[in-house]
Amino acid sequence: MNAPMTQFAKPWVANPDGYRVPYEVFTDQAYYEQEQEHIFRGETWSFVGLDAELPNNGDFKSTAIGDTPVIVTRDQNGQLHVFKNLCMHRGALLVRESRGNVKSFDCVYHQWSFDLTGALRGVPMRRGVRGEGGMPAAFDMANFGLDALRVEVMNGLIFASFSKTVEPLADYLGEGIVANIQRIFNRPIRIMGDYRQYIHGNWKLYAENTRDPYHGSLLHLFHSTFGLYRATQKGFTYMDPSNRHSLLKATASAAPTSASEDQEVYKDVRSYNTEFRLQDASILAGRPEFEDRASLVINAIFPNLLIQQIANCLAVRQSVTHAPNAFEIVWTLFGYADDDEEMQMIRMKQSNLVGPAGLISMEDGEAIEIVQDAVIRDGKKTSVLAMGGVHAGSVDHMITEGPIIGFWENYARYLKLGAGLKK
Amino acid sequence: MSSSSLLSSQSAAFSKDKPSAMVPDDFIWQGYSALETQWRVERLLSRYVACIDDDNLEAWPSFFTQEACRYEIITRENVERGLPLTLVFCTSQGMLADRIVSLREANIYPQRWYRHIVSNVLIQAVAEDYLEVHSHYVVLQTRRNGQTSIFSAGKYKDRIVFQNGELKFAEKRVVVDTHSIDTLLVSPI
């Protein structure tokens, strides 16, 4: 579908009192189509997996970029490839399993066979049967290799792009984001497993949610309910120079240097709610494992990735779109290959905090759906993004909606809406 | 059957599924006949799901053993990949109780009712001091618009013990077929 762009809302203007986004971006199929073309299949790098998911030659996984099905595989020489999951013959899904290990990709329909580098190696009955049928002389198997995407791997994170012209991954991410990837993926990881969370809402509501450092203490009440609110928590909000990606980082700036100081710091905030106490606080037990002592790192990478560190709970979250009103978050939690048994147990217990059943994160699914449900017939009405000043960019606090504005400015640029940039 | 292999099993709920045909028809467990044991197990499961569906969640932790207990919800996808990650991982009654306080006081989630259907209750193994019981469950979810859908289907793998005259779960491992969680998971399964 190629809807004329003129049907979209007027250019989005950042007024002094707020940046406004029309709700139709969350509901209108025309936007969804343009996003698939210009964002997911456009000049971007999408996250498709971790190389630790594919440790052996011949391993593959199927996933999607936006809603385009793709295969990620490691060939017999250890090289990673990403292909469209689409047989070059008649368009069948080449891989129907979510994961596996193969020597070749064989389509079940007519058994066309592709090697792990994507080359077509076998076409049954190519020379016909008893002199009958067969492919024409002009048919050249070399012309029917799988559609391959560009692939770059950074510290074990596999990214792919449909674009031949997008800048190299490191430039796309920018130094600050690369530094965070290097910080978290500093040594071999051990995959703990996946969660999949199906949300009846638009994927961009989650892009907003993960670029919104100030909803945390307001929507997510687990810590404050149990008197665990961390008053000394100090954070900052970093954005890459293009404002596509954001990094929300919180540390205890007044990091308690002694047990008595810790007690003093917590003395008042524990009264935040005096009624409830955790009966088993081992869920919060942890070990500092990063020099910067950051307790919360939420790194949103345009368009489909989030890297999180919440205490010792490490994860990547990949967004897969299904429709304007449906997407899925694929969470992959991990630890490090050198974790001792106690550390593995710490991470297992802390995993209670995140994911679809996460004590501090489950609300995000509900927050997205209540927006989606409300705006259904009010596409021309707009949200207002004003907290922290009406601009994207890095700031030394977390009371801001700047990263969300950065997302929308780039969104408008990718969709050629010619908007949102006027001040 | 060899009871020694059952006793040596570190954790009944984690062991591989065994054909229940291994359990004889005429066993005696804690003084109960096979028939009465089956009936008591089914009554425990019925009471357990009634506790959840009737929103009597404060009583939910009491279905588990008091000292050490284990409650896990894990996707079949992770189990089949040999990966440990659980959606919910509780190792004490206190952690179970904390989940319920969080549900009542902290978490934000859609209004909905759950209804559990439990069937195919199979005693998989009989050891001197515990039973290993597998059963199937389906959780129906009715959202506030009145529409009902299947929220989750899967299998309970329980290790049940006899404590103070009652059957309790020492371990309950919920293996979820429905690995794509519909929005969020707040109530126990």
Instruction: Single out the residue of A352, A331, A348 nearest to residue A339, CA to CA.
Output: A348
Whole-number percent of chain A with pLDDT over 90: 79
pLDDT along chain B (189 residues), means of 10: 33 52 88 97 98 98 95 98 98 97 93 96 96 98 94 98 96 98 96
Residue A3 Cα to chain centre, angstroms: 27
Tell me what pLDDT residue A8 has.
53
- For range A39-67, the mean pLDDT: 98
Secondary structure of residue B65 in the 3-state scheme:
coil
Work out whether strand A189-199 and strand A326-336 pair parallel, antiparallel, or are unpaired.
antiparallel
Interface of A with B (CB under 8 A): 98-99, 191-200, 219-222, 224-226, 276, 278-280, 282-283, 328, 333, 344, 348-349, 351-352, 355-357, 359, 362-363, 365-367, 369
Whether B66 and chain A come into contact, CB under 8 Å, resolves to: no
Using CB atoms, which residue from B73, B85, B93 is nearest to A193?
A: B85
Which CATH number applies to B27-176? 3.10.450.50
For residue A317, the model assigns a pLDDT of 98
CA distance A240 to A413: 16
List of residues 6+ apart from B167 with CB closer than 8 A? B40, B41, B44, B160, B161
CA dist A47 and A40 (Å) reads: 10
CB atoms under 10 Å from CB of A101, counted, come to 13
The answer to whether A319 and A310 are in contact (CB under 8 A) is no
The gap between the terminal CA atoms of chain A, to the nearest Å, is 32
Res A229 pLDDT > 90: no
The model carries a pTM of 0.91
Q: How far apart are CA A399 and CA A418, in angstroms?
A: 28
Residue A384 in contact with residue A17, Cβ under 8 Å?
A: yes
- Yes or no: say if A344 and A337 are a contact pair by the CB < 8 Å rule: no
CA A103/CA A100 separation, integer angstroms: 10
Round to whole Å and give the CA distance between A31 and B73: 37
Residue A369 has its nearest CB partner, among B74, B183, B185, at B183
Of A222, A224, A352, the CB nearest to B89: A352
Q: Token digits for A57? A: 């030659």
Do residues A157 and A316 touch, judged by C-beta distance below 8 A?
A: yes
pLDDT at position A34, please? 95
Which helix (H) or strand (E) segment holds residue B170: the answer is strand B166-176
Most B-contacting residue of A99, A101, A198 (CB-CB within 10 A), to test interface: A198
Sign of CA dihedral B20, B25, B26, B29: positive
Average pLDDT over residues A339-361: 96
Among the residue ranges A256-260, A322-326, A401-405, B61-65, the one predicted with the least confidence is A256-260
Q: Whole-angstrom Cα distance, residue A136 to residue B83?
A: 49
pLDDT surpasses 70 at A265? no
Nearest to A363 among B77, B108, B185 (CB): B108
| CB–CB contact A356 B185 (8 Å) | yes
Domains of chain A: 46-152 (2.102.10.10), 174-414 (3.90.380.10)
Distance in angstroms between the alpha carbons of the first and the last residue of chain B: 32
DSSP state of B102: I
**SS3 annotation, chain A:** CCCCHHHCCCCCCEECCEEEEECHHHHCHHHHHHHHHHHHCCCCCEEEEEHHHCCCCCEEEEEEECCEEEEEEECCCCCEEEEECCCCCCCCCCCCCCEEECCCEECCCCCCEECCCCCEEECCCCCCECCECCCCCCCCHHHHCCCECEEEEECCEEEEECCCCCCCHHHHHCHHHHHHHHHHCCCCEEEEEEEEEEECCCHHHHHHHCCCCCCHHHHCCHHHHCCCCCCCEEEEEEECCCCCCEEEEEEECCCCCCHHHHHHHHHHHHHHCCCCCCCCHHHHCCCCCCCCCEEEEEEEECCCEEEEEECCEEEEEEEEEEECCEEEEEEEEEEECCCCHHHHHHHHHHHHHCCCCCCCCCHHHHHHHHHHHHCCCCCCCEEEECCCCCCCCCECCCCCCHHHHHHHHHHHHHCCCCCCCCC
Point out which residues pair with B149 in neighbouring strands.
B141
The most distant pair of C-alpha atoms in chain B lies apart, rounded to whole Å, by 53
A166 touches A324 (CB < 8 A):
no
CB < 8 Å from A in window 130-189 of B:
179-186
Take residue A230 and report the two structure tokens written for it. 């961390």
* Phi, psi of B113, deg, nearest 5: -110, 145
Q: CA of B12 to nearest chain A CA: how many angstroms apart?
A: 20
Note whether A369 contacts B95, CB cutoff 8 Å.
no
Closest CA to A323 of A48, A67, A43, A24: A67
Per-residue exposure over B84-112, b if at least 16 CB sit within 10 Å of its own CB, e if not: bbbbbbbbbbbbbbbbbbbbeebbbebeb
Q: Is the peptide bond before A303 cis (omega within 30 degrees of 0)?
A: yes
- Residue A271 pLDDT grade (very low, low, confident, very high; cuts 50, 70, 90): very low
Q: How much is the pLDDT for A232?
A: 59
Q: How many residues does chain A have?
A: 423
pLDDT class of A304 with cuts at 50, 70, 90: very high
Would you put residue B25 in left (φ > 0), alpha (ψ -120 to 50) or beta? alpha
- Per-residue confidence (pLDDT) for residue A263, from 0 to 100: 53
C-alpha distance from B103 to closest chain A C-alpha (Å): 8
Q: What are phi and psi of A393, to 5 degrees?
A: 130, 165
Q: What is the CB-side half-sphere exposure of residue A361 using CA atoms within 13 A?
A: 26
Instruction: Express each pLDDT in A71-99 by its tens digit.
Output: 999 999 999 999 999 999 999 999 999 99
Displacement of CA B83 from its chain's centroid (Å): 20
Contacts of A166 (CB under 8 A, 6+ apart): A43, A44, A45, A150, A172
pLDDT band, residue A269 (cuts 50/70/90): very low
Q: How confident is the model at residue A260 (pLDDT cuts 50, 70, 90)?
A: low
Q: Is the pLDDT of residue A256 over 60?
A: no
Nearest-CB residue to B88 (from A192, A221, A352): A352
